[in-house]
Amino acid sequence: MISYKKELDILEKSNRFRKRKIFDNNIIDMASNDYLGLATKKKLFKKASKELLKQKYLSPKASLLVNGYSKLHKKFENKLSKLNKFEDAIVVGSGFLANISLIESMIRKKDILFIDEDYHASGILATNLAQGRVVVFKHNDFEDLENRLKEFNALNYRTMIAIEGVYSMRGDIAPKEFNDLALKYNSILLVDEAHSSGVIGDNLLGWYDYWNIIPSKNHIKMGTLGKAYGSYGAYILASKEIISFLENRAKPIIYSTAPSLFDITLAYFNFKHIIQNKVKIINKIKQNQNIIKKYLNIDVNSLIVAIEINDNQKVLDIQKYLLEKGYIIGAIRQPTVKKAILRVIIKNDIKKKDLLEVINYLQNFRYNRKKL
């Protein structure tokens, strides 16, 4: 008989076994990627519902390339490309599909992809589908990248550099030097902005905004809607030529149903809300970052606080302890990260008193004042 029990037993033994759970809604959320707390904003949800109910078709029905493309998709694409200053945009079903789309379709036989070792699992998976060569460089290490670019005579090839704006686990920001290298070596720069859009930059637009980079032909931005934008789905911003290439070559765009009309409409209103309220949102982000600096002495530039514990069982125990106190934080284990971490999301809707209480518990564990 075919069985996977042995593999599951191994996962259990090494504290790497996973199980999806439904948590009590009264538990205070400091684990999800709902960075700005939009997942509970019923007013915005109602606006999106009202808008959608005006339409004849309520679901996309087909791929973007058949007749699933609607005015609602286009309106959102136009808003995204205009505000982010990219030539063109295309919506995609999810960030996972967007990474597969970009890497699988764009890395042709003679091309080289240079990718950060901590790039999201969807991008790493896509490297198996890429036809060209894939070179992995050390996390956020632009010197290592430059050595690799030189080693492979990057100027003789069509190349792409793939990084994340804010890294999903450690919450650190990719340095601006990656853009300098992309320009110097005439490389396409792909930035996965899943955790940076809506969180960093003077206009809360993400990594390009944070470093004041005006997008040009070689720049690509991939953003997701399931995080700060409080919805589900993704988008790709790039030159007209690259977007047209994706429309013609990227299988998850051609052969998958167009993104949900409701999710896109909700993301549209949420995005508008973020832009209109950016000053207030930025102030709150800074306030929470300052609290983390003051009490935990950790410099945070995003809304992800990573605390290294390096023990798979211990992160689970700490998570369980906090759950009993009414808070949920992330317990991230190998293989997702090299060393187990607590991932605490200092969401904008967290009350100061709750943040301080969680910090107090974390301080106890961090300085071993509390034994489990």
Ligand X SMILES: Cc1ncc(COP(=O)(O)O)c(C=O)c1O
In the complex, the residues that contact ligand X under the rule CB under 6 A are: 94-96, 99, 120, 122, 164, 168, 192, 194-195, 224, 226, 234
What single-letter DSSP state applies at residue 267?
Answer: H
Nearer to ligand X, 122 or 265 (CB): 122
d(CA 168, CA 179): 20
Closest contact distance (angstroms) between CB of 316 and ligand X is 20
d(CA 309, CA 329): 14
Give me the phi and psi of 274, to 5 degrees please.
-65, -45
Q: Which two tokens stand for residue 115?
A: 């990718």
Whether 246 and 220 have beta carbons less than 8 Å apart is answered as no
d(CA 239, CA 248): 14
Nearer to ligand X, 94 or 127 (CB): 94
Closest contact distance (angstroms) between CB of 207 and ligand X is 12
Q: Which residue is nearest to ligand X (CB)?
A: 95
Closest contact distance (angstroms) between CB of 221 and ligand X is 12
Nearer to ligand X, 235 or 327 (CB): 235
372 exposure class (CB count in 10 Å sphere: 0-12, 13-18, 19+) = exposed
Number of helices and strands in the chain (H, E): 14, 11
Nearer to ligand X, 94 or 105 (CB): 94
Residues paired with 163 in a beta bridge: 191
- The residue type of 117 is E
Nearer to ligand X, 132 or 330 (CB): 330
Closest contact distance (angstroms) between CB of 62 and ligand X is 21
Closest contact distance (angstroms) between CB of 167 and ligand X is 7
Nearer to ligand X, 45 or 96 (CB): 96
Closest contact distance (angstroms) between CB of 222 and ligand X is 7
Sign of CA dihedral 292, 296, 299, 300: negative
Place of tokens 């890294």: 167
Closest contact distance (angstroms) between CB of 168 and ligand X is 4
What Å distances lie between residue 152 and 123, 132, 141, 147, 317, CA to CA?
21, 13, 17, 9, 46
Nearer to ligand X, 120 or 148 (CB): 120
* Farthest-apart Cα atoms in the chain, separation: 61
Closest contact distance (angstroms) between CB of 321 and ligand X is 25
Nearer to ligand X, 146 or 209 (CB): 209
CA nearest 129: which of 108, 115, 149? 108
